[in-house]
């Protein structure tokens, strides 16, 4: 749907051509069987049906990325209050997998019409999504993609809406690599390793470093969280004092890494990059302590997932995957905002 989803944002205002399908949000679809999860047909709203209820299920509510996502969804619902009702929920922290599974089951028990989910784990959430599908609930996967093989094994198709994380992160890595020399050592802080987007971001950073001849001498998971990132980055800097940059697969981990670099008195010597474009990272980019991040527009990803769910509730077949934009964010692009 978007021919050029990975873009530099310079100047920011000029490139916000978010390719939304502006839906005619009239829920006129009739009839429709509840398929048992085979993936080809979806329940349709009866003309007389009451407003559909859509559940947006996210991960850690402590992560600003998801606060932004929730805000986007809330705004959209407020603008379409006559069309659908929205339930928003998430987990306490990034690792609370069982809570997210429980949330899916709660939504099934409540009989919502659709679930729009950003899974905490790409494999472990598939069974819960299948239970929802078996109950006739429309499921849309946003942000972090469910595992294709596990979906196939369980015999369901779930449409995905989200960015190309590998390409998006590669852009951040390439921007960083312009400041590095071949042979320079760098460290990486990965997200949760059982998430597809975490894996893709690791690969994207690896792509960029490889083509610049830069060596990743240490790579560890900090579980998407600030505190473990701080601990691990501090240990990395102690063990490999020659490290020239810390590649962080999200901004919360970049903030943890920044605190470690500050504590080591090495701001200006060790570059830091992240992913998400949360407010705190923008200030750090502006003051030069963080080099760059990427904006994947979490608020719009949620909205697009909801709009797709509404289309499916009208009986339309979804596309397999929908790739959403990612923008490189640097001090220059923030200045030109």
Exactly one of 9, 44, 59, 314 binds ligand ALL (CB under 6 A); which one? 59
Residue 196 binds ligand ALL, judged by CB under 6 A = no
The distance of closest approach from Cβ of residue 253 to ligand ALL in the complex, given in angstroms and rounded to an integer, is: 8
Using alpha carbons only, give the angle 40, 41, 47 rounded to the nearest 5 degrees.
160
Structure tokens at 247: 């590649």
Residue 197 binds ligand ALL, judged by CB under 6 A = yes
Which helix (H) or strand (E) segment is 98 a member of? helix 97-110
Q: Which of residues 246-275 bind ligand ALL (CB under 6 A)?
A: 250, 275
CB closer to ligand ALL, 250 vs 289: 250
Number of chain positions touching ligand ALL (CB under 6 A): 13
The distance of closest approach from Cβ of residue 123 to ligand ALL in the complex, given in angstroms and rounded to an integer, is: 15
Residue 42 binds ligand ALL, judged by CB under 6 A = no
CB closer to ligand ALL, 143 vs 147: 143
Q: Which of residues 268-307 bind ligand ALL (CB under 6 A)?
A: 275-276
| Burial (Cβ within 10 Å: 0-12, 13-18, ≥19) of residue 176 | buried
The distance of closest approach from Cβ of residue 8 to ligand ALL in the complex, given in angstroms and rounded to an integer, is: 19
Strands of 154-233, DSSP E: 160-163, 185-190, 215-221
| Burial (Cβ within 10 Å: 0-12, 13-18, ≥19) of residue 320 | exposed
DSSP state of 318: P
Task: Tell me the residue nearest to ligand ALL as measured from the CB.
Answer: 250
The distance of closest approach from Cβ of residue 177 to ligand ALL in the complex, given in angstroms and rounded to an integer, is: 21
Residue 164 binds ligand ALL, judged by CB under 6 A = no
The distance of closest approach from Cβ of residue 103 to ligand ALL in the complex, given in angstroms and rounded to an integer, is: 15
Exactly one of 57, 76, 94, 328 binds ligand ALL (CB under 6 A); which one? 94
Dihedral of CA atoms 142, 65, 216, 167 in degrees, nearest 10, equals 40
Residue 144 binds ligand ALL, judged by CB under 6 A = yes
In contact, 114 and 142? CB cutoff 8 Å:
no
| Burial (Cβ within 10 Å: 0-12, 13-18, ≥19) of residue 298 | buried
Q: In what order do the strands lie in the sheet with 321-324?
A: 85-91, 53-60, 114-117, 138-142, 160-163, 321-324
Question: What residues line the site for ligand ALL (CB under 6 A)?
Answer: 59-60, 63, 65, 94, 118, 143-144, 197, 224, 250, 275-276
């Amino acid at each position: 749907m978007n021919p050029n989803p990975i873009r530099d944002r310079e100047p920011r205002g000029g490139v916000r051509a978010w390719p939304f399908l502006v839906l005619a949000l009239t829920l006129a679809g009739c009839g429709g069987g509840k398929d048992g999860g085979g993936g080809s047909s979806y329940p349709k709203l009866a003309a007389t049906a009451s407003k559909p209820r859509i559940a947006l299920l996210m991960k850690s509510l402590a992560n600003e990325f998801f606060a932004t996502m929730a805000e986007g969804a809330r705004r959209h619902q407020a603008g379409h209050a006559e069309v659908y009702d929205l339930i928003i929920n998430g987990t306490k922290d990034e690792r609370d997998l069982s809570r997210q599974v429980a949330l899916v089951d709660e939504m099934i028990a409540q009989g919502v019409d659709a679930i729009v989910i950003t899974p905490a784990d790409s494999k472990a959430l598939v069974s819960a999504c299948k239970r929802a599908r078996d109950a006739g609930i429309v499921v849309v996967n946003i942000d972090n993609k469910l595992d294709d093989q596990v979906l196939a094994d369980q015999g369901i198709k779930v449409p995905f809406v989200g960015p190309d994380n590998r390409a998006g992160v590669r852009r951040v890595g390439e921007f960083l690599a312009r400041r590095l020399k071949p042979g320079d050592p760098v460290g990486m802080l990965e997200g949760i390793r059982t998430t597809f987007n975490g894996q893709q971001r690791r690969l994207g950073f690896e792509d960029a470093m490889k083509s610049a001849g830069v060596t990743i001498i240490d790579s560890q998971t900090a579980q998407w969280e600030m505190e473990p990132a701080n601990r691990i980055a501090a240990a990395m800097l102690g063990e490999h004092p020659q490290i020239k940059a810390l590649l962080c697969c999200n901004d919360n981990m970049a903030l943890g890494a920044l605190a470690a670099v500050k504590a080591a008195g090495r701001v200006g010597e060790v570059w830091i990059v992240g992913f998400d474009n949360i407010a705190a990272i923008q200030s750090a980019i502006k003051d030069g302590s963080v080099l760059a991040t990427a904006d994947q527009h979490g608020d719009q990803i949620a909205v697009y997932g909801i709009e797709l769910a509404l289309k499916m509730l009208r009986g339309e077949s979804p596309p397999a995957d929908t790739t959403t934009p990612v923008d490189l964010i640097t001090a220059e692009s923030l200045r030109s905002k």
